[in-house]
Amino acid sequence: MLRATASTSLAALAALAAVACGGGDDGSTTAGLPSGCEPVEAPAPKPGGLEPPHTKLSRGEDVSAVVDTSCGVFTIALDTANFPKTASSFVNLADEGFYDGTSFSYVDGSVVQGGDPTGDRTGGPGYSVDESVPFDTEYTRGTVAMAKTEVEPTGRSGSQFFVVYAADAGLQPQFAVLGRVTEGMDVIDRISQLYEPGSDSGAPSAPVVIDSVTLDHG
């Protein structure tokens, strides 16, 4: 299981020190890339420091996020019915281009994690959002949820998110749900192939970069 390293990283049970991933002096690698993934350089850290979200989605509003990565494209149907504040924050960050040029910084046996501007699971947007999490929330395959540390309250989030690729991540209902992958789970499965059991950092074995996040408002 996992544990977060900073105010907006994924929390669970085993502490991991995070480092940047890469396969050469320029941070790029071609060896061992799954089919469908392009070799890319690990991106430079980006600044946070954004203001709290100005976007406010209506409860139940139909919004999807199309995430274009170096391993392909996947689509998240945002859960505005149950987590409108969380979805609104994500939409605000996407509109600001916050996720563009960031990497997936963590992979384990059940989830892949991205959305950190620093690339080492210690960063965030400069603000946090709080939203209640129903006691019966489950984190099954295709669920996209927001990351937090153990010391932060249930339902708090910044920018970092994780996608469950296992049948069930086995997590307690602590994490605000962003939505669910409706297209492109094969892309998440590709990224999961970069998991290195026993890695001290949890970083994928090669960089995977988010090129852009675009929004489709129903």
Average pLDDT, integer, range 179-196:
97
The total number of residues shown for the chain amounts to 218
What is the Cα gyration radius of the chain? 16
Within a domain: 25:
no
> Quick one: 107 exposed, middle or buried, by C-beta within 10 A (0-12, 13-18, 19+)?
buried
Tell which residue, 165, 59, 150, has the closest CA to residue 108.
165
Average pLDDT, the chain: 87
Binned at pLDDT 50, 70 and 90, residue 7 comes out as very low
> Quick one: 65 exposed, middle or buried, by C-beta within 10 A (0-12, 13-18, 19+)?
buried
pLDDT tens, residue by residue, 53-98: 887 999 999 999 999 999 999 999 999 999 999 999 999 999 999 9
Alpha-helix runs per DSSP H in 54-196: 84-95, 185-192
CA separation for the pair 113, 147 (Å, rounded): 8
What is the domain range of residue 96? 64-216
| pLDDT of 106 strictly over 70 | yes
Average pLDDT, integer, range 117-133:
94
One DSSP character per residue, 98-156 reads TTTTEEEEEE-SSEEEEEETTSSS----S--EE----TT---BTTEEEE---TTSPTTE
Binned at pLDDT 50, 70 and 90, residue 198 comes out as confident
Global confidence as pTM:
0.86
Helices (H) and strands (E) in the chain, counts: 2, 10
Tell which residue, 210, 217, 209, has the closest CA to residue 28.
209
Within a domain: 132:
yes
- State the SS3 of 28-47: CCCCCCCCCCCCCCCCCCCC
CA separation for the pair 213, 64 (Å, rounded): 10
| pLDDT of 112 strictly over 50 | yes
Give the pLDDT confidence score for residue 88 in this predicted structure: 97
Within a domain: 11:
no
Give the pLDDT confidence score for residue 27 in this predicted structure: 41
Name which of 26-35, 146-155, 205-214 the model is least confident about: 26-35
Q: Which residues contact 43 (CB under 8 A, 6 or more apart)?
A: 101, 102, 103, 119, 207, 209
Within a domain: 81:
yes
Within a domain: 177:
yes
CA separation for the pair 143, 168 (Å, rounded): 9
Within a domain: 162:
yes
pLDDT tens, residue by residue, 8-64: 344 343 332 232 233 333 444 455 799 999 999 999 998 888 888 887 999 999 999
In this structure, what CATH number is given to the domain that contains residue 140? 2.40.100.10
Q: For the chain, how many structural domains are there in total?
A: 1
Within a domain: 101:
yes
CA separation for the pair 153, 149 (Å, rounded): 8
